Structure 1
Amino acid sequence: MRRRFVIEAVMVATYGHLLIPSRPIDYVVPYSSILELYDMRDGTEPVMDDPEDDAHVKSVIAELIIFFEDSLNRKKIERAMQMPWRESSPLILNDRIQFTIVHAVDNAHYGEYFDPIETELLLTSSKLQIPLLSDQFEFQDKLLEARVPVQVYDIEDFEFAVEEGISIKDTSQFGDS
């Protein structure tokens, strides 16, 4: 069975181990996160501190953009963009990885507390009832502080999330104490 995670597109480019999972994965990506890839590719700001790492990540970003712009993938994305919260058909990267693009809509549900991309990630995770992968400690802390009802894994715990994970049922016992 394919494990699903909500994630920003740039994280897939930044963390190489996400491209070689031990089990089949479906990365669910809000469309606005794909648009950020263009800004990162074309911008003058480095994505990574180390120049070699930055060049590598920017090349992976360029490869992801080419993948999303492929005519078949582009058509699947365009169909999803016709209605809010619609999911694309799977975009197959290889035998282990597929992407599902979601036309997430930031409805200011969390006000000014989270930025628009964070809000779309949260709403996508909540609406689809699938865990979120993040590398941002501040974001994870804000989730806990705001008591947002989503399951989040730190990117460093990716293999645990893929292999074992924690079910929503298991997490409910922590909130009731």
Structure 2
Amino acid sequence: MHRRFVIEAVMVATYGHLLVPVHPVDFIVPYSSISELYEMRDGNDPVMDNPEDDGHVKAQIHQLILFFEDPLNRKKIEKALQAPWRESSPLLLNDRIQFTIVNTMDTAQYGELFDPIETELILTALKLGTPLLTDQFEFQDKLIEAEVPVQVYDIEDFEFAVEEGIAPGDLEQM
């Protein structure tokens, strides 16, 4: 069984250790974050501060775009885009990693506190009852301050989240 996490597409390209999990993982990605990959790849703004790292990450972003543009994967994504909140069939990267693309709709439920992508991540995690995976400390702090009822893991805790994680029942007992 795959352990599921809601995540932005760029995070998968940025953090290579996400692609070598100990157990099977399903990365749930809002479609709008895939669109951001094109902007990052084609834009002049650096993704990383270090030029060497920036070149590597942009190459990884390009590879991820090619994966999503594969004809079979593209067909699965297009089918998901036919209705709001529809999930794609799994896009298999290898025997341990799959992606599920969600046609998220920003309902602005959290729009005053969070940007559109953050809002879509939150709503996807809430709708699917799935933890969020992020590297953005400010986002994590805002989630806590706003008391958003979503489980969030820092990217650095990915191995723990995959191997053990915290069950929702455990959170209620805290």
Query: 1:111: Cα distance to partner?
Result: 2.9
Query: 1:6: Cα distance to partner?
Result: 0.2
Question: 2-side partners of 1:36 and 1:100: how far apart?
Answer: 17
Does structure 1 residue 158 correspond to structure 2 residue 169? no
Aligned residue for 1:66, secondary structure, equals helix
1:143-170 CA-partner distances (Å, limit 9, x unpaired): 0010001000000000000000001111
Alignment size in residue pairs: 174
Counterpart in the other structure of 1:100: 100
Counterpart in the other structure of 1:48: 48
Counterpart in the other structure of 1:30: 30
Unaligned runs of 5+ in 1: none
Does structure 1 residue 68 correspond to structure 2 residue 59? no
TM-score normalised by structure 1 residue count: 0.97
Among the aligned pairs, what percent are the same residue?
75
Does structure 1 residue 7 correspond to structure 2 residue 13? no
Aligned residue for 2:110, secondary structure, equals coil
Amino acid across the alignment from 2:7? I
Question: 1-side partners of 2:108 and 2:173: how far apart?
Answer: 29
Aligned residue for 2:108, secondary structure, equals coil
Unaligned runs of 5+ in 2: none
Question: 1-side partners of 2:111 and 2:13: how far apart?
Answer: 29
Question: 1-side partners of 2:56 and 2:116: how far apart?
Answer: 27
Displaced runs of 4 or more, over 4 A: none
1:56-106 CA-partner distances (Å, limit 9, x unpaired): 100000000000001110000000000000000000011110000000100
